[in-house]
Structure 1
Amino acid sequence: MSGATHTAADPRLYDRTAELAAVGRLSARTAAGRGGVLFVTGNPGEGRTSLLSRAASDFPGTAYRVAAPHHRGPWSAARVLFATLAPTPAAARRALRLARGEGGLARAMATLVTEAEPVLICVDDLHLWDAHSRAALAAAWQETDGRGPGRPGRVGWLVSAARHHRFPEVPGAETVRLGRLTTAGARALLADLCTVAAPAPPVAERLLDEAAGHPGVLAATVRRLTVAQLAGTQPLPQPAVDDTVLAEVYGGLLERLPAASRRLLATVAVAVLAGRTGADCARAETYGVRDGGSGVDGRAPSARASAEPLEGLVADGLLRRRRGGAVGFDDPFLGRAALASARPSWRGETRAPGPAKGATPSADLPADRPAAGAAALARGRGHRADRLGPSAAVRALSPVARGRAHLVRGLAALAGGPVMDAHEELLQAAELLRGRAPVEASDARFLAMEAAWAGGDVEGCLAALDGGEDVRGTERDFAEGLSAALTVRLDDARTALTRVVTGDGATDDPRLLLRAGSAALVLGDTATAARVHARALVKARAEHRTALLPRALEQLAYAELRAGRYSRAARTAREGLRTAEATGQHNVAAHQHAVLALVASVEGDGTAVTEHAGRALATAGPHGLVQAATLAEWALARAELGRGLAAQAAARLVPLVRPGPRGGHFALRMLVVPCFVEAAVATGRDAEAREAAEEYAAWAALGVDGPAPAQLARCRALLGEGEAPAYWFGEAVRRHDSCGNDFERARTLLAYGTWLRRRRRPGDARGPLRDALVTFERAAAGGWAEHTRSELRATGGASGGATDPAAPRELTPQQQRIVRLVARGATNQEVADHLSLSPRTVDHHLRGVFARLGIRSRVELPGVVDGWDADGEARTVATERPECR
């Protein structure tokens, strides 16, 4: 491991009191026969190997040190482990065969390690082990509850791995994390390293300042200095911690990363180091990723996953997402090393502008200013590697590199920050990359459009879609089709977007599938959109596209919601919320909360509506997410309407249906209108409702929303006078039958039944109300079902008609006989035998009875029969004793 400060039998460690105490606890447990596992994690050069050496030296029994193999093949690390422990090569081979078979690694270890004395096994660089060996070792730890093989468990495991490695879950295991040294610890280490002659005080202060408490960096820096440089008679390199030092300490880690990951780390380093100070520097250090999008009827279209691997770096711990969605280097040396390792051809030969005014990179400090470093240390502001300015490579950036830096910062804001900031950064990236990196320029433009979409800015969307020659093929179709849709040129939009659905929808690339699903939503084909988005999700999972999953789940949840499949939408949104939060995509999480709030408003779960809508709005406000905010407010209003709070619902919906920058999201306004009309009519705001309905009629005629004609008919029924509503309600139900969405059909039936009851036609009202109740109950829409029950009670019937005096007369005699037999506990077979029917016929009759009476199961039938009998007795008494009337 790079950066080990000692290789002697008894290495000295500084500032490792807590870590050594953890090692001491492991040793004591092992000596007492309880064994155990201790994990040690740290960045390159922070002393993991030194700690293992010290632990092996201090252990009172037998200690083995196991290094990672040079070549990583299946079971290669297990071979090294057994070769270290086995007395002969033959024993090692037998252990390997046992480990690869049913016995597992625990049993194989038991053949090699006796219980005569305690044993400590120090495993270094677990992250370099092959997957087979790691899995077998984790299974052995879990099988023995973390106590090691054999009984009573006199084996201790001390295991080190890089900071980005995820250790397995092991019961009872402890983890310690190495960090930087204090000023005193670093000074002691420096004295230990300079065995020939102590460094001059100014030199020592500068080395301590630049090394920032990193033991490996300090050791590597000292190794490359001459005695004259340490003595101060010759100048130090500028900076002392230069690219050569960082390559020695971090080169092994970077070389093992995929090329795309190394390039992204370098791009991130550009964004961090390219010369911002103060508040600007804070913005420059924010970046992240977001991938994909959705369609024009409420979701933004998708762009490429150009920065998708960045989320993998976040998940691996090489980068850390901070407050507000920003991502930064926990270890600033890693960023500088990543930039130094980038190819000169990528960094560019064109000199870019230098650091911003006011920047004071230490790389530019003259050698005669070490006192500044000493003063900083004395004030407690030392060991700040992030104070070091960019190396020469950073100050020689090409337009492409600067464009990528803007792209990274824009992606950060898109994932978890203000979306209009993301829009501006991404447009700048597109201009810098235009003609130089056309694929990335196109990505930046689509992502800028997505940011403007989330922020409800139509003009921003159109500006981003104007990509010129950088957009070709189906990308051009998508851009032109979406631009046409945003400017209400629907014929042009259909022509271009149909080609996108046909072309991209036939691929296996999840990114292109998401774009095809988005186009389908623009065309109003929610069924196709849901199907294509589901395929994209399956492909993303199969390809382990971790960063893409939240976006795919978000789009699928929205498509299911638009198609009226609420339970599916909820299940998908819950999974999407978990993945978005796990990857730090907070803006995606806000949208999923809004979807869950809408589903909860259907179910009538007021508590869930309030919780999810509140969480969505908490992010939407500061981040400018007009789309998520509109969905959340709509959910709150619909829940209020379901509880009969029409005045509150109307007041909440007024801003959402109002056009202009202070209104709701441009792609959601019309979807909200039917709910507003219902609430406004119920509270006497007929003029506002009529104005909104007229605009809705023009929009429904465009044919971009399947349920719109049915909901328009319901609006006209609610606004009609005389007997006109009866016609429009009937027309609405008929149109609902042809476009699906049972929930909206039930809402129309509820409104129809309510209108009939208020016209003093209770008998006519019961039919629509009972049908609505059955649908609401099947959809688990508790609040809407209760509202419907109250309307039924107002007609003179009971909840669902179960104890309605007229209910028996609405059943056939055969159905009445079946009800009474089942109410007494008879099974379908027993009823069939008694009435000479088939069990299937009995089941068919029972389903009809349940629908007619508004009940859900046979267990409710005894109460139904009791209610009929009680009502019959009451009528008999009233007939025999007329004086009691």
Structure 2
Amino acid sequence: MSGATRAAAAPRLYDRTTELAAVAELSARAAAGGGGVLLVAGGPGLGRTALLDRAVLDAPLRAHRVAAPSGNRVPWSGVRALLAALAPTPSAARAALRVARGPDGVAGALTALRAGEPLLLGVDDHHLWDAHSRAALAAAWRAGSGPWAWVVSLAGHHRPPEVPGARLLRLAPLGREGAAALLDEVCRSPLKPAVRARLVDEAAGHPGVLTAMAARLSAAQLAGETDLPATVADDEVLRQVYQGLLDSLPAECGRVLTLVAVAGEAGPGAGDDAGADDPAGGPARPPSSRSGARPVGADAVLAVARTARTSPEALDRLVTDGLLRGPREALRFEDPLLRRAVLGAVAPARRRDLRALFTPPRDAGVPCGPARTSAPRDPGPRGSALDRGAGHRADRLRPADEVRALPGVVRGRAELARGLAGMADGPVADAHQVLLLAASLLREDAPEEAADARFLAMEAAWSAGDADACATALAAGDGPGAATGPGVARGGGDGAERDFRDGMRAALAVRLHEAREPLARVVARDGVSDEPRLLLRAGAAALVLGDAASAVRVHSRALAAVRAEGRTALLPRVLEHLSYAELRAGRHERAAAHAREGLRAAHLTGQRNSAAHQHAVLALAASVAGDTRAVAEHAGRALVTARPHGLAQATTLAEWSLARAELGGGLAAHAAARLAPLVGAGPRSGHFALRMLAVPCFVEAACAAGRRSDARAAAEEFAVWADLGLDPQAPAQLARCRALLAGTEDSARWYGEAVRHHAGCGNDFERARTLLAYGKWLRRRRRPVEARAPLSDALVTFERASAGVWADQARAELRATGGAVGGTGPVGAAGELTPQQQRIAGLVADGATNREIADRLSLSPRTVDHHLRNVFARLGVRSRVELSGVLSRAARDGYGGVR
């Protein structure tokens, strides 16, 4: 059947066999009642829209292609256009839009318009659709309901939407045969073989460039009767292909792209047409085969960009989006034709001026860049270290005195960039020292940046677990000239930094009476800012004060600010801080959700240290859920980076999560042995800010393992710490520790006190652990009737927190008292599975393998395995046979929808 938006003529495609086969497979799946999502990514002119047109024309079912509306920033404009293409009347489209904006979403709207009808829906230029429409479509795709084949095109440098089971295809340039065949189709007259070969070489397989070149040549040129231009794919041709992409970039990103393109021109004396002729004097070579661009150092670009008030995040965004590739010392364009298009858009005079910023004078080895200075001549290598993209390796490329001749602010900014790189992916102790050096170099001329460097130095030391180094970084702000100047006043004033410095130093020295007031002022003042760096500072202050709720609020505000400003390089760090604050607040599932997002952002931006922190948070959250496999996986990945890079905080969290999983699984001796060094003193101890937080877990494990003297010593130290008031949970946990250690007469009193304290601190998981311990104690004292109430309460709380292994313990204890577990057991839980989990569980119970389930539901086997592990944990079963029995009982007991 034909849809209203089919293309009028069938576009012929070349070298797209894989893509067309994927579309045909998806169409057949939809026609059979299935469905799925196929994502097609590619750069400008590579044929995304042509592929969608071909898919619509070839589809054996009703098919539509819907492009991004011209007013793409109008909320819901994309969904409105999609529904208008499907609706028989405008009124029906308006009614469907109301459904789409409600709880039923786009899937409900499509069902209302085309109930049960298979459809192929082409969503063109998904990255240009408005945010509301993109979110609504993603929700519909993740739900996976309906016989709909979605073929979605998006720009290659944009991050594809996250859809479980979706297939992603990236369009590649055409091969020589495909490119030649396309030329023969689009040319108005026959081609001479030599001309065809020349055009294929210049276009490097790019369909859009091939088509634009063919359109600009005359019949005589195509036939070889008159000469071709020196460069057929000239600025005008490239502008036709790439102008839309360049116009869509933020202004700062466009400026940085221009700087990278200019800095990469071959040789300091390169002219505007550098590389156009063969060095041997022969005919011009195709641009795509020339090595005209050299790699560019990020530090050199950032040094020049700062003079134009361009944010460093613009460069990070270009790298994250994939427009630039390579290590920091050798950036290059992913698409060489895009580089030429960028250069072609720069006026020759402007291009020469920019090149001069990256090129030293011919008669001296004087460093050049955003600020020039006088220096003696030097016979060493020409060009500054920054120009060479070496940055932190300047001392190896030129004599040390020439490096010192650079202006302090230039050196300071280079060291600041180097320190940030070290914090992202390197030993954090080294980054701490580099950032201290940056702070000293920036102190006079850039006090606001110096303050940032000091805060980052403290953060690096904090990650390393070095309290003395934290104090050193804070002390670097003392003395005249610290944190002054107009920039600092705008950023919160010298008073804000002084409060943070004084409060943190007092807290590190355990003088809490001195720390509370200045740190509270930091939270109150910086916590309402719109500047992420100030919000991070306020969040850190809130955590030190033990105010986890304020820390979550402030870091959530920082996350919103970072997302609004598109600061992709800062996103992993903010998510890391937010997820840790949520752990402290007992919000484990939310912490895991933010850590997963932070992990993706860290991988995209190459920040392995942040990824290690996110893995550690995910491991600790998984230890609450009792998913031992996830705990081992995330903890192992965290430790791979954390140990060599000295990330004491991530190491402590990872080890703690392994111990808690062992304790939950009944391996108390293993858990106690793992935690003992973390909670003790000495070189093997855990992170100074986490050591006391892990003590209650150690006491529980040590008591169960018969190490009561070790548990008592740790509890005594914990009691001193709890009196400081740094953690609202500490009084309840201390009472639980005393109950575990007390004699028979006193334990009940201590358990009662622990429960009373828990009522005011809000961490349901810790409260449930106390109730479980109390119920166990009562049952072992042959008081089963009294034990049932705390055990039932613990069971319900564990189930609400998805703490599967802990719920199993509570359920077993409750059964041992003779109490009924009711609908909260596996049978009751079966009715609470998500629709996708119910489908997978039902197919498993029917005997299907993971591969068969994946094929039937258009998912990957890995996604099926993930859902199945969650089903096993939720139902408390350990095998497919047990799962089948649970579902059979659930169906018999009236929990519908699970088969």
Flag whether TM exceeds 0.5 (same fold).
yes
Which of 313, 329, 332 is residue 331 of structure 2 equivalent to?
329
Output the CA distance in 1 between the equivalents of 2:816 and 2:376. Answer: 77
Output the CA distance in 1 between the equivalents of 2:320 and 2:824. Answer: 56
Identify the residue that residue 684 of structure 2 maps to in structure 1.
662
Which of 289, 301, 319 is residue 265 of structure 1 equivalent to?
301
Which of 547, 555, 567 is residue 533 of structure 1 equivalent to?
555
1:453 correspondence with 2:462 = yes
Identify the residue that residue 796 of structure 2 maps to in structure 1.
774
- Please say if residues 304 and 369 of structure 2, whose CA atoms lie closer than 8 Å, have aligned partners that are also in contact: no
What secondary structure, in the 3-state scheme, does the structure 2 residue paired with 1:346 have? Answer: coil
1:627 correspondence with 2:649 = yes
Q: Structure 1: 5+ residue runs without aligned partners?
A: 1-21, 43-47, 53-73, 77-98, 104-130, 140-160, 179-184, 196-210, 232-247, 255-260, 271-304, 365-385, 804-855, 865-885
Output the CA distance in 1 between the equivalents of 2:893 and 2:747. Answer: 36
Letter in 2 for 1:456: G
Tell me by how many angstroms 1:568 deviates: 1.5
1:562 correspondence with 2:562 = no
1:449-471: CA deviations, max 9, x gaps?
11111011111111111112423
Tell me by how many angstroms 1:764 deviates: 2.2
Instruction: Output the aligned Cα RMSD.
Output: 5.5
TM-score (norm 1): 0.55
Tell me by how many angstroms 1:580 deviates: 1.8
Structure 1 pair 566/436, CA: closer, same or farther in 2 (3 Å)? same
Structure 1 pair 394/340, CA: closer, same or farther in 2 (3 Å)? farther
Q: Structure 2: 5+ residue runs without aligned partners?
A: 1-11, 25-39, 48-68, 72-80, 86-123, 134-154, 162-166, 177-197, 203-226, 231-260, 282-290, 344-350, 360-367, 386-393, 484-493, 826-885, 895-899
Identify the residue that residue 373 of structure 2 maps to in structure 1.
349
- Please say if residues 662 and 671 of structure 2, whose CA atoms lie closer than 8 Å, have aligned partners that are also in contact: yes
Structure 1 pair 762/434, CA: closer, same or farther in 2 (3 Å)? same
- Please say if residues 266 and 292 of structure 2, whose CA atoms lie closer than 8 Å, have aligned partners that are also in contact: yes
Structure 1 pair 784/222, CA: closer, same or farther in 2 (3 Å)? closer
1:239-258 equivalences under 5 Å are: none
Output the CA distance in 2 between the equivalents of 1:661 and 1:353. Answer: 50
1:441 correspondence with 2:450 = yes
1:407 correspondence with 2:416 = yes
1:389-428: CA deviations, max 9, x gaps?
7899989622222222221111111011111111111111
Identify the residue that residue 108 of structure 2 maps to in structure 1.
none
Structure 1 pair 435/770, CA: closer, same or farther in 2 (3 Å)? same
Structure 1 pair 449/506, CA: closer, same or farther in 2 (3 Å)? same
Letter in 2 for 1:792: L
1:167-224: CA deviations, max 9, x gaps?
999978433799xxxxxx9xx99xx99x9xxxxxxxxxxxxxxx9xx99769956978
What secondary structure, in the 3-state scheme, does the structure 1 residue paired with 2:653 have? Answer: helix
Identify the residue that residue 365 of structure 2 maps to in structure 1.
none
Structure 1 pair 353/706, CA: closer, same or farther in 2 (3 Å)? farther
Structure 1 pair 307/449, CA: closer, same or farther in 2 (3 Å)? farther
Letter in 2 for 1:397: L
Identify the residue that residue 755 of structure 2 maps to in structure 1.
733
1:34-53 equivalences under 5 Å are: none
Which of 685, 709, 715 is residue 687 of structure 1 equivalent to?
709
Which of 817, 821, 830 is residue 795 of structure 1 equivalent to?
817
Tell me by how many angstroms 1:520 deviates: 1.5
What secondary structure, in the 3-state scheme, does the structure 1 residue paired with 2:683 have? Answer: coil
- Please say if residues 268 and 408 of structure 1, whose CA atoms lie closer than 8 Å, have aligned partners that are also in contact: no
1:470 correspondence with 2:472 = no
1:431-481: CA deviations, max 9, x gaps?
222212212221111111111110111111111111124232212211211
Tell me by how many angstroms 1:706 deviates: 0.5
Identify the residue that residue 320 of structure 2 maps to in structure 1.
315
Output the CA distance in 1 between the equivalents of 2:780 and 2:716. Answer: 25
Output the CA distance in 2 between the equivalents of 1:512 and 1:680. Answer: 42
1:578 correspondence with 2:606 = no
Letter in 2 for 1:583: T
1:97-125: CA deviations, max 9, x gaps?
xx9xx99xxxxxxxxxxxxxxxxxxxxxx
Which of 740, 756, 764 is residue 786 of structure 2 equivalent to?
764
- Please say if residues 14 and 174 of structure 2, whose CA atoms lie closer than 8 Å, have aligned partners that are also in contact: no
Larger relative CO (CA 8 A, sep 6+): 1 or 2?
Answer: 1
Identify the residue that residue 678 of structure 1 maps to in structure 2.
700
Identify the residue that residue 398 of structure 1 maps to in structure 2.
407
Structure 1 pair 727/765, CA: closer, same or farther in 2 (3 Å)? same
Letter in 2 for 1:632: A
Output the CA distance in 2 between the equivalents of 1:476 and 1:776. Answer: 44
1:767-846 equivalences under 5 Å are: 767-797=789-819, 799=821
Say which one has the larger Rg: 1
Tell me by how many angstroms 1:771 deviates: 1.5
Output the CA distance in 1 between the equivalents of 2:503 and 2:668. Answer: 39
1:521 correspondence with 2:539 = no
1:706-721 equivalences under 5 Å are: 706-721=728-743
Identify the residue that residue 649 of structure 1 maps to in structure 2.
671
Letter in 2 for 1:521: L
- Please say if residues 635 and 654 of structure 2, whose CA atoms lie closer than 8 Å, have aligned partners that are also in contact: yes
Structure 1 pair 457/354, CA: closer, same or farther in 2 (3 Å)? farther
What secondary structure, in the 3-state scheme, does the structure 1 residue paired with 2:332 have? Answer: coil
1:3-55: CA deviations, max 9, x gaps?
xxxxxxxxxxxxxxxxxxx998699x99xxx9xxx99989xxxxx9xx99xxx
- Please say if residues 41 and 177 of structure 1, whose CA atoms lie closer than 8 Å, have aligned partners that are also in contact: no
Identify the residue that residue 174 of structure 1 maps to in structure 2.
172
Identify the residue that residue 80 of structure 1 maps to in structure 2.
none
- Please say if residues 790 and 799 of structure 1, whose CA atoms lie closer than 8 Å, have aligned partners that are also in contact: no
Output the CA distance in 1 between the equivalents of 2:126 and 2:711. Answer: 68
Deviates more, 1:653-662 or 1:411-420: 653-662
Structure 1 pair 687/793, CA: closer, same or farther in 2 (3 Å)? same
1:111-142: CA deviations, max 9, x gaps?
xxxxxxxxxxxxxxxxxxxx999959xx9xxx
Output the CA distance in 1 between the equivalents of 2:302 and 2:697. Answer: 50
- Please say if residues 590 and 628 of structure 1, whose CA atoms lie closer than 8 Å, have aligned partners that are also in contact: yes
1:314-355: CA deviations, max 9, x gaps?
225465464xxx664237999999784269683341539979
Output the CA distance in 2 between the equivalents of 1:583 and 1:218. Answer: 31
- Please say if residues 616 and 651 of structure 2, whose CA atoms lie closer than 8 Å, have aligned partners that are also in contact: yes
Letter in 1 for 2:561: K
1:590 correspondence with 2:595 = no
Tell me by how many angstroms 1:585 deviates: 1.8
- Please say if residues 339 and 393 of structure 1, whose CA atoms lie closer than 8 Å, have aligned partners that are also in contact: no
- Please say if residues 300 and 358 of structure 2, whose CA atoms lie closer than 8 Å, have aligned partners that are also in contact: no
Tell me by how many angstroms 1:712 deviates: 0.3
Letter in 2 for 1:481: G
1:482-561 equivalences under 5 Å are: 482-561=504-583
| Number of equivalent positions | 573
- Please say if residues 15 and 175 of structure 2, whose CA atoms lie closer than 8 Å, have aligned partners that are also in contact: no
Letter in 2 for 1:487: A
What secondary structure, in the 3-state scheme, does the structure 2 residue paired with 1:723 have? Answer: helix
Structure 1 pair 701/540, CA: closer, same or farther in 2 (3 Å)? same
Deviates more, 1:631-640 or 1:517-526: 517-526
1:19-34 equivalences under 5 Å are: none
| Percent of paired sites with the same residue | 56
Structure 1 pair 524/464, CA: closer, same or farther in 2 (3 Å)? same
Tell me by how many angstroms 1:731 deviates: 0.4
1:121-132 equivalences under 5 Å are: none
Structure 1 pair 610/549, CA: closer, same or farther in 2 (3 Å)? same
TM-score (norm 2): 0.55
